[in-house]
């Protein structure tokens, strides 16, 4: 009988994303929208479909303790060992930079773990030629975090994502049209140079370009800080993930490495660490 796999889950504000860890390999990341449904029902359906293949589950969630308690019970009822990845002083290859370590979003820490692992061969800060990185997660909210070459998190920022910006503008103005993102989030609604010729295009382009400019500008500031801390000329890698990442990537002016499964790579590292500690 083949070895069982591990189910890796990233439960965000809008989507439940998941993949399987099979030995050293990750399957392709998949996602299920839960925003307009019961997230525990969506989660249970996923478990029902994957339980026969898996013996363990590693999860990161932004949905709070009530969801995690329900998720743990459903996993254990299904016979799966349950690991919740959460922020702490040091997790995987990253040292938390927050004064109150538990206040750092667990998804942010997992993304940093995955990014640092990607840009460095050993991933543990032991090589003097390690690279610093900036980690951007662009989804419902946008987060940007700076990690130096030793794996020390220096801090970061949080600001509204693309859809939140659109909804905020629509909700607080009387005359501007409401945009349906399911039909209008495509290239014809984005004017790369800001020269929109109708109101829906002006709104969509303004929100997207302001997000792109914010990401570029904040990353530039962070890069200067990281370069000032470094004793080498190693470049600072910018790694981008999140549900809006593919949409915004063409409008960014600097170089970014797009990795859809960044948080999954972080969850994989947590699973490996747990296994080594057993």
Angle (CA) 219 140 51, round 5° = 115
* Residue 33, CA atoms < 13 Å, CB-side half-sphere: 6
Only one residue has tokens 């070895």, namely 3
Helices (H), 9-102: 39-50, 65-77
Could you give the maximum distance between any two Cα atoms of the chain, in Å? 64
- The closest of 57, 12, 1 to 34, measured between CA atoms, is 12
**Reduced to 3 states, what is the DSSP secondary structure of residue 101?**
helix
Task: Identify the helix (H) or strand (E) that includes residue 182.
Answer: helix 181-184
| Burial of 48: CB neighbours in 10 Å, binned 0-12, 13-18, 19+ | exposed
What is the spatial distance between Cα 95 and Cα 68, in angstroms, rounded to a whole number? 24
Pull the structure tokens for residue 55. Answer: 């013996």
Q: Which residues of 171-181 are buried (b: 16+ CB within 10 A; e: fewer)?
A: eeeeeeeebee
Residues labelled catalytic: 107
Angle between helices 39-50 and 65-77 (to 10 degrees): 30
């Amino acid at each position: 009988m083949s070895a069982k796999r591990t189910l890796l889950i990233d439960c965000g504000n809008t989507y439940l994303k998941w993949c399987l860890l099979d030995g050293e390999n990750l399957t392709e990341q998949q996602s299920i929208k839960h925003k307009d449904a019961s997230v525990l029902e969506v989660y249970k359906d996923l478990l029902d479909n994957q339980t026969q293949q898996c013996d363990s589950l590693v999860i990161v969630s932004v949905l709070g303790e009530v969801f995690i308690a329900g998720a743990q019970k459903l996993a254990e009822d299904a016979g799966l060992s349950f690991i919740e990845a959460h922020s702490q002083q040091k997790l995987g290859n990253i040292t938390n930079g927050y004064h109150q370590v538990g206040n750092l979003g667990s998804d942010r820490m997992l993304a940093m773990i995955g990014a640092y692992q990607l840009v460095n061969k050993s991933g543990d800060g032991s090589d003097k030629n390690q690279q610093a990185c900036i980690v951007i997660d662009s989804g419902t909210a946008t987060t940007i975090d700076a990690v130096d070459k030793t794996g020390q998190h220096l801090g970061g920022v949080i600001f509204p994502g693309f859809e939140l910006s659109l909804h905020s503008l629509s909700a607080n103005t009387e005359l501007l049209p409401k945009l349906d993102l399911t039909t209008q989030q495509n290239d014809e609604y984005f004017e790369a140079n800001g020269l929109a010729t109708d109101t829906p295009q002006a709104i969509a382009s303004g929100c997207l370009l302001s997000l792109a400019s914010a990401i570029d500008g904040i990353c530039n500031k962070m890069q200067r800080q990281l370069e000032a801390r470094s004793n080498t000329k190693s470049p600072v890698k910018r790694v981008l993930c999140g549900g809006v990442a593919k949409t915004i990537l063409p409008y960014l002016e600097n170089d970014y490495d797009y990795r859809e499964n960044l948080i999954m790579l972080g969850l994989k590292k947590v699973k490996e660490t747990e296994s080594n500690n057993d």
